[in-house]
Structure 1
Amino acid sequence: MNNLFKALSHPVRRRIIAMLRQGPMGSGEIAAAFDMSWPTITGHLNALKDSELVSTEKHGQSVRYRLEISAVEEAMAFLMDLTGTGSRTPEDDK
């Protein structure tokens, strides 16, 4: 969970996640949306992959990134429980 929130802490990574909500994208497509060096983008993509927010598929020499909804759902459930807006009841803590 720590890696997940660390990955979400950077605005570029949040923008990549927003882009991936539209569907899988190639690394080149993602990189083209930013005015950054390739190694910098690769670092952000690796952080998202390490946190399991995205998964990858290799197609020849290109890599496609896909948003992993289960990791997003886990983070949302944690935040909802933390704020008291989740489905937990006081009886769940007994």
Structure 2
Amino acid sequence: MNALFKALSHPVRRSIVDMLRKGPMASGDIAAAFDMSWPTITGHLNALKDAGLVSPERDGASIRYRLEISAVEEALAFLLAMTGARTPDTEEDPR
């Protein structure tokens, strides 16, 4: 969980996660959206991968990144629990 929140603490990484919400993207397309060097973007992608937020998959000569929604759901459940909000898992059965 610490790695996940650390990964999301950087605005570029949050932007990448937001981009991947629309579907998998090639690393080159992700890099093209930012005015920074390729090694810097690679570092951000590695931080997201290490946190379990994205997974890489080879697509021919390029690498596509996919958002791992389960990691996002875990973080959201944690934050909701901190606020005392009920999640679908914690709601009582109305019967």
TM-score (norm 2): 0.90
Counterparts of 2:24 and 2:81 in 1: how far apart (Å)? 30
Name stretches of at least 5 consecutive residues in structure 1 with no aligned partner.
90-94
Counterparts of 2:68 and 2:19 in 1: how far apart (Å)? 13
Q: Which amino acid in the other structure matches residue 14 of structure 2?
A: R
Q: Secondary structure at the match of 2:74?
A: helix
Q: Deviations over 1:29-67 (max 9, x none)?
A: 000000000000000000000000000101222100000
Cα displacement (A) at 1:14: 0.2
1:9 paired with 2:9, answer yes
Counterparts of 1:29 and 1:73 in 2: how far apart (Å)? 25
Q: Which amino acid in the other structure matches residue 54 of structure 1?
A: V
Q: Which amino acid in the other structure matches residue 72 of structure 1?
A: V
Q: Secondary structure at the match of 1:19?
A: helix
Is the 1:77–1:86 Cα contact (8 Å) retained in structure 2? no
Cα displacement (A) at 1:86: 2.7
Among the aligned pairs, what percent are the same residue? Answer: 74
Partner of 1:21: 21
The CA RMSD measured in Å over matched residues stands at 1.1
Large movers: runs of 4+ above 4 Å: none
1:72 paired with 2:84, answer no
Question: Larger helix proportion, structure 1 or 2?
Answer: 1
Q: Which amino acid in the other structure matches residue 38 of structure 2?
A: W
